[in-house]
Chains A and B, each alone.
Chain A
Amino acid sequence: MRDLSFLRLSLRGLQHHMILAKKVKTIRGVPQIGKTTNNHNPSGHIEFELLKSRFLATISHELRTPLHIIGGYLSLLLDGARGNIGEEECYCLNKAMDASRHMLKLVDDLLDLACFSAGVMEIKREAIDLKGFLNGLAQKWETLIKDHSLVLHKRISPSLPKIETDKNRLEKILNNLLDNAVKFTPQGKIVLSACSRGDAVEITVADTGIGISRKSRQIIFDAFRQVDASETRPYQGMGLGLALSEKLVRLLGGRIEIESEVGKGSAFRIILPREIQHAGKSPDC
């Protein structure tokens, strides 16, 4: 555990659940759950893992529900389902909707990180057409950045193989990297490229943004850390995107590399196996 106050909170909750579990098991006459993290009681260990998993799923559900309600009513107004609205109202509602979506992403990211910490991150393996997947992603981001002073180039090899991985997790990794590239590139270009590399595939998100110093590169994959953490920092955020991406890449059995030069830009390269052989265990954060 490093500097993760949120995780400490959630783990306190887990400890609470663990105590409850101990009591339940004692009442049932099986007082060994305190030793369940070793191999003396595998069924108790499974029960504890389930308990952690359920705890985090419940927190996720409870936090997401009110955000869903806020977003739902805003959508009704924006879609005109409750009558016509004017341009000014539409502007304000869109701002509220953006903030609501942003909040939902923060909640999802925090909960993903807590799941890593608890070791209950799930992977769904499926075969994906990487070329089609990346072209679709590039198309989505071309639309998203149309109001920025940026262009997105793609260099996707036509001979990319199908790979077996977790599509949703891969999409989240790349969305985080692209989001980061947009955030730290006031103007210029972003390049999404991909090619085969032996038994692996290599996907790179490069930008012509502010770049990262050698010293700062040591902390960029730490959760809740930003290169400039001062009160006057120019870039907002919790510092979760890269931390989560790095952990997700490891979970998919791959690794992430970075090249950067201050003032010139950065390139984040993901190397993923064509098939997940040994998925990385959820790191201990």
Chain B
Amino acid sequence: MPVKVLIVEDHPDAREILVFQLGHMGYETIEAANGQEAIEKVLAQGPDVVIMDLGLPGINGIEATVRLKQNPKTANIPVIAYTAWREQSYRDKAIEAGMAGFLIKPTPSKVFGEVLQSVLQSNPQKMASTA
């Protein structure tokens, strides 16, 4: 069974890049374009890991993560932030929300794959990230 990754990204091109990129790496992908859709897809399709943009229409990535972590059914699914917001304050918010990793766009495929692997094999206390 391939690992199932939910890609939460409102920019259609950025989402498509991730679908192709992760598909090439052997992952099965499902997609959501905003926080509300992300929560619904996590509940309905139970991905192994979520890659979450932070700036999303409606419910943003931080809030969506908080809600996923509050629900015992979804709390253990790791969420990795993938964002163009490079400021430390966003990293702090991501940690606080319970995200397992923080990647800044653009992250090279190789690094992306390594972080995904590390999160899946997981040490939830250690936050994987790019500088």
Stretch at the interface among B11-19, B60-68, B120-128: B11-19
Provide the bound-state CA to CA distance between A124 and B21, in Å: 31
Chain B nearest CB from A115 CB (Å) reads: 9
Find chain B residues with CB under 8 A from A76 CB: 17, 20-21, 24
Question: Do A61 and B85 have beta carbons less than 8 Å apart?
Answer: yes
**Contact with A65, one of B11, B23, B24, B87 (Cβ below 8 angstroms):** B11
Question: Do A80 and B24 have beta carbons less than 8 Å apart?
Answer: yes
Chain B nearest CB from A34 CB (Å) reads: 26
Binary flags per residue of A132-157, CB closer than 8 Å to B gives 1, else 0: 00000000000000000000000000
Provide the bound-state CA to CA distance between A185 and B55, in Å: 43
Provide the bound-state CA to CA distance between A104 and B108, in Å: 14
Question: Do A81 and B11 have beta carbons less than 8 Å apart?
Answer: no
* B75 interface hit (Cβ, 8 Å): no
Find chain B residues with CB under 8 A from A72 CB: 13-14, 17, 21, 106
Binary flags per residue of B95-131, CB closer than 8 Å to A gives 1, else 0: 0000000000110110000000000000000000001
Find chain A residues with CB under 8 A from B23 CB: 81
Question: Do A171 and B131 have beta carbons less than 8 Å apart?
Answer: yes
* B84 interface hit (Cβ, 8 Å): yes
Chain A nearest CB from B26 CB (Å) reads: 11
Chain B residues 1 to 50 lying within 8 A of chain A, measured CB to CB, are 11, 13-14, 17, 20-21, 23-24
Q: How many interface residues does B have (CB within 8 Å)?
A: 20
**Can you name 17 extra interface pairs (CB under 8 A) apart from A76-B17, A167-B131?**
A57-B85, A57-B87, A60-B84, A60-B85, A61-B85, A68-B14, A71-B106, A73-B17, A76-B20, A79-B24, A79-B109, A81-B109, A104-B106, A122-B89, A124-B88, A168-B131, A171-B131
The 9 residue pairs across chains A and B that have the minimum distance between CB atoms: A81-B24, A72-B17, A68-B105, A64-B84, A71-B106, A122-B88, A68-B106, A69-B13, A168-B131
* A67 interface hit (Cβ, 8 Å): yes
Sorting the interface of chain A by its residue count into under 10, 10 to 19, 20 to 34 or 35 or more gives 20 to 34
Provide the bound-state CA to CA distance between A93 and B87, in Å: 30
Find chain B residues with CB under 8 A from A68 CB: 14, 84, 105-106
**Contact with A82, one of B20, B84, B87, B88 (Cβ below 8 angstroms):** B20
Question: Do A60 and B86 have beta carbons less than 8 Å apart?
Answer: yes
* A75 interface hit (Cβ, 8 Å): yes
Find chain A residues with CB under 8 A from B106 CB: 67-68, 71-72, 75, 104
Question: Do A69 and B87 have beta carbons less than 8 Å apart?
Answer: no
Find chain A residues with CB under 8 A from B21 CB: 72, 75-76, 79, 81
Chain B nearest CB from A120 CB (Å) reads: 9
30 pairs, A vs B, C-beta closer than 8 Å: A57-B87, A60-B86, A61-B85, A64-B105, A68-B105, A69-B11, A69-B13, A69-B17, A71-B106, A72-B14, A72-B17, A72-B106, A73-B13, A75-B21, A75-B106, A75-B108, A75-B109, A76-B17, A76-B21, A76-B24, A79-B109, A81-B21, A81-B23, A81-B109, A82-B20, A104-B106, A122-B88, A122-B89, A168-B131, A171-B131
